[in-house]
């Protein structure tokens, strides 16, 4: 011990001086009676310091694990909306084998190849003035204020054959901005599924957007009407299946008219000309 101290002193005189001062101080504090105010304050401070160091170390050490889990969760949401998630699915493997991520310039509807799609975070980009586009109030149907210039879409392919297109959507409900994915069949018109995976609506009311029974109602619905307008919408109560336009109507959520309106609005916005319509039109015209 003595040798180590000497060696430290040899190489770092100043550190050794501080160490000696600290040691003397600690010895003096520890020698005080347990009832002394000075000792109580010093022990409490030392405990705080140790805890702060431990929490900081844990935060830094767990950061890569957190990032991995976040990415895994997103892949799970995408596989879910694509209908590719079963119990026991190896998420990383299934995602790698079946899903291709692409960036789309929302204005032109063209793919963007000069930005690394794996590193791109659309939610972050939507909040960054250098990467987003402010939405004028009269066009902000989904009440989101700004959108990322580039959207990250996911293609589900079987070999060379496009099976479905997964589009990120978001819009304000009653209490929260809801984030999700909409999966369309390769025709860019027929709904496969919707997954509003991140929302803060009331559980049992607006929060029923995650209910599998309600989500199942979306399958087979059509997005665009005969004139290319976004016709898909939620209705108050149950959609009348005998009507010819039933293919464009989804049951509203009971006791959650405002959340339902928010879902209709986000569909209206993201499937429209300010959202994915230019991209979907290009896909359709390219066959």
Minimum distance between the CB of residue 15 and ligand FMN, rounded to whole angstroms?
59
Minimum distance between the CB of residue 272 and ligand FMN, rounded to whole angstroms?
22
Q: Please write down the HEC assignment for all residues of 225-273.
A: CCCCCECCEEECCCCCCCCHHHHHEEECCCCCHHHHHHHHHHHHHHCCC
Task: Indicate which single residue of 80, 140, 201, 274 sits in contact with ligand FMN (rule: CB under 6 A).
Answer: 201
Choice between 262 and 278, CB closer to ligand FMN: 262
Task: Indicate which single residue of 89, 210, 258, 281 sits in contact with ligand FMN (rule: CB under 6 A).
Answer: 258
Report the C-alpha gap between 3 and 11 in whole angstroms.
12
Task: Indicate which single residue of 122, 259, 264, 265 sits in contact with ligand FMN (rule: CB under 6 A).
Answer: 259
SS3 state of residue 192: strand
The window from 52-60, 89-97, 164-172, 249-257 that contacts ligand FMN (CB under 6 A) reads 249-257
In contact, 197 and 180? CB cutoff 8 Å: yes
Q: DSSP code of 68?
A: H
SS3 state of residue 16: helix
Number of residues that bind ligand FMN (CB under 6 A): 11
Residues found in the chain = 287
Point out which residues pair with 185 in neighbouring strands: 164
Q: Is 174 in the site for ligand FMN (CB under 6 A)?
A: yes
Minimum distance between the CB of residue 73 and ligand FMN, rounded to whole angstroms?
23
Environment class of 276 (CB within 10 Å of its CB; exposed 0-12, middle 13-18, buried 19+):
buried
Choice between 74 and 205, CB closer to ligand FMN: 205
Task: Indicate which single residue of 42, 131, 257, 281 sits in contact with ligand FMN (rule: CB under 6 A).
Answer: 257
Listed in sequence order, the DSSP H helices in 82-209 are 91-98, 122-127
Minimum distance between the CB of residue 207 and ligand FMN, rounded to whole angstroms?
6
Minimum distance between the CB of residue 219 and ligand FMN, rounded to whole angstroms?
23
Residue nearest to ligand FMN (CB): 206
Choice between 132 and 259, CB closer to ligand FMN: 259
Nearest to 82 by CA among 96, 68, 69, 95: 95
Minimum distance between the CB of residue 268 and ligand FMN, rounded to whole angstroms?
17
Site string for ligand FMN, 202-231 (x = CB under 6 A): x--xx-------------------------
Residue 204, sorted as left (phi over 0), alpha (psi -120 to 50) or beta, turns out to be: left
Q: Which residues bind ligand FMN (CB under 6 A)?
A: 174-175, 201-202, 205-206, 255-259
């Amino acid at each position: 011990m003595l040798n180590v101290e000497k060696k430290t002193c040899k190489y770092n005189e100043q550190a050794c001086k501080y160490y000696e001062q600290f040691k003397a101080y600690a010895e003096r504090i520890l020698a005080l009676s347990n009832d002394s105010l000075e000792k109580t304050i010093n022990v409490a401070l030392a405990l705080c310091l140790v805890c702060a160091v431990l929490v900081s170390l844990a935060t830094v050490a767990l950061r890569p694990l957190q990032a991995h889990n976040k990415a895994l969760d997103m892949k799970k949401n995408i596989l879910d909306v694509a209908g590719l998630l079963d119990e026991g699915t190896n998420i990383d493997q299934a995602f790698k084998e079946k899903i291709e991520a692409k960036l789309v310039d929302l204005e032109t509807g063209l793919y963007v190849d000069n930005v690394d799609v794996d590193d791109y975070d659309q939610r972050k980009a939507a909040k960054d003035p250098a990467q987003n586009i402010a939405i004028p109030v009269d066009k902000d149907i989904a009440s989101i204020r700004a959108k990322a210039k580039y959207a990250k879409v996911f293609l589900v392919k079987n070999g060379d054959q496009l099976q479905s297109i997964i589009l990120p959507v978001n819009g304000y409900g009653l209490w929260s901005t809801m984030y999700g994915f909409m999966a369309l069949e390769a025709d860019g018109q027929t709904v496969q599924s919707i997954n509003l995976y991140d929302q803060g609506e009331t559980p049992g009311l607006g929060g029923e957007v995650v209910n599998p029974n309600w989500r199942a109602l979306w399958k087979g619905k059509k997005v665009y009407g005969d004139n290319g307008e976004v016709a898909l919408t939620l209705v108050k109560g149950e959609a009348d299946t005998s009507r010819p336009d039933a293919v464009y109507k989804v049951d509203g959520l009971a006791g959650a008219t405002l959340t339902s309106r928010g879902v209709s609005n986000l569909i209206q916005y993201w499937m429209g000309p300010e959202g994915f319509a230019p991209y979907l039109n290009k896909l359709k015209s390219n066959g």
